[in-house]
Chains A and B, each alone.
Chain A
Amino acid sequence: MGTRRVNDGATAIDTGRLAAFLARAAGATRVRVETFEPLAGGAIQDNRRLAAEIEGGPSAGRLDAVVRMDAPSRVAVSHDRASEFALLRRMFAAGVRVPEPLWLCADAAVLGRSFFIMRRVEGEALGHRLVKTAAEHGFGDALAAELGEELAKIHAVPFAAPELSFLAAPSRAPGLDRVMTYRDFLDDLPDPAPAVEWGLAWLERHAQPQGPLALCHRDFRTGNYLVADGRLAAVLDWEFAGIGDPDEDLGWFLAKCWRFGQVAREAGGIGSRDAFLAAYERRAGRTVDRTRLGYWETMAHVRWAVIALQQADRHASGAEESLELALTAHVVPELEWEILERTREGA
């Protein structure tokens, strides 16, 4: 188990400890860590590419994996690694396309923070690149349909399982529940956000009565799934999953703010709204109410504005110095404009 020190900014990571953990977890006689390096993307979690050679045990052979660990400063509402690992296992078992979860390590002595390891899935996730390739190769509508179907599969996963007991069901109508949550988030920020509050007041007045609840991914959008050869390869980033109104996921996916410049392709900047919704409806066996959907698209802009303000504050407060976080403050005006456009009321 060759020990190599990888420079990790403030702390040096001892890959020898990682190799020892892997050997224990995989029941191996020997593990050689070959690559352990940062993976681009993810303002919230810290993802590393891991390549290792495993000798002995049931997992013997080459390991091509991703290590997902908590970032230095964490958004309090995102699940910890243990919960996200449990979710991934549940989804993988249910046949949802996700990276195969392998091992969880809660011992901070190994990498300084808790983490889990999942098998690496080949594919493109970057939104800007994906919307371009989808347009050039003409697979946008087919991909949108695959995504609609996959989301229906997610919503059909029973959430009452004991290993998912950390998921809390909303105590009031899901729209109102979200409004209260986002107000709490805003209260933790130093500056008032009047345009966002305007949107929240509108969302409170127009809240829909509660329908059937489902396990929601809550970050199902372009940028959070992998595509290989024009096909959906895996749905990523389960850290915000929860129990809520399934239309919330549909609205988040369709919202204008997640189209990466391809505004006319309403399904995530890749395909048509109809292709996405028709496939969802077919698989879910229910008709989606378009008016309710508009409500959740407005919610999506409000939510992204709240998250963007939180991310900007992580930099501004000194918790985590980052140009990417700092610049997130400047996506807010565009969201505010959209929120106001969507909430004109006899004005």
Chain B
Amino acid sequence: MSLPSAVVEVRDVRMHFPVQRTSLLGARHEVVHAVDGVSLTIERGQTLGLVGESGCGKSTLGRVVAGLYTPTAGSVLFDGVDIGALSPRDLRALRRRFQIVFQDPYMSLNPRMTVGSLIAEGLVIHNIGKPSERAGRVAELMDMVGLRRETVSRYPHEFSGGQRQRIAIARALAPEPELIVLDEPVSALDVSIQAQILRLLVDLQQRLGLTYLLIGHDLAVIGNMCQRVVVMYLGVVAETAQRSALFQAPLHPYTRALFSAAPIPDPVSERVRRRIPLEGEVPSPIHPPAGCRFHTRCPIAIERCHVDTPMLRPITLEGRDTSDLVACHRADEIAAGAVLMPPGIVRPTDLPIPSAPTGSPAQ
């Protein structure tokens, strides 16, 4: 069932970057293990959330999925086609079907191009439509994202952050893609504008049947947008689950720490929130720790965690199925409530079980 509906399949992808470090002893060649063996599936019409902190590899993985990086190892299948095996010409043809929206709309839009030419650029590159028809298509795209048509010949600096992100979204939509990689699309925006852009993204997804890979560090945004969530730590997947399972009972200590750090705009909830403090800092991806990569900061690490790398595996627990996986040796104990009590904020009984957005338009 799930196989034909998958738009993207990422299989054991590794993305390593060579770096040169110079010191008094001369130059040393080292490797940053940005992504180190990640597999995931993005289902058609759904949103997959990729969450983690700076340096966990989520943006790198997003760029691999968007075809901007060629992975060091592993493969990315788009509609069953291995992108890595395509000729440059075939890859170019396929590229219009996946697009990317970046975090910072101040950096990602060429300041010397007008809104109209920014949005039309994808049409020109992919040779879509006659030049005479493009103005009409640009106007239509501007309507779709809520930009006024009169602003078509203005420049990015004349717009606010939220409107710039609308330009970036219109630009991504132009070649009618099936998949859009959203790399922290609202992190740089004010709260009320964030909500506007998130609403727009949900609305567009429903109208156009888009598939999203949403990258972020804010669990609240991810949880309210996605059907499935992948939690990354230092280049690997710590936990992946349907959002209802993840939000009801996160099972990886790192996921629990992330939840416990998520602030809630309610003093009553804040008083019962218990933070799981993490020791130290994220280790270097040049020399990731042996065993479980999280063991240096994990509050419940045991000897085994220092040597033995935990595999992703399912845990039997109400609300979880075999696709909900966690990479922790002590996940069974955590599930049973024997160690690492859930942060005070997660009250499974209070959580409505969210449903996937349906294909029907909003309202």
Q: Is the A/B pair a real complex?
A: no
Which residues on B are within 8 Å of A, measured CB to CB? none
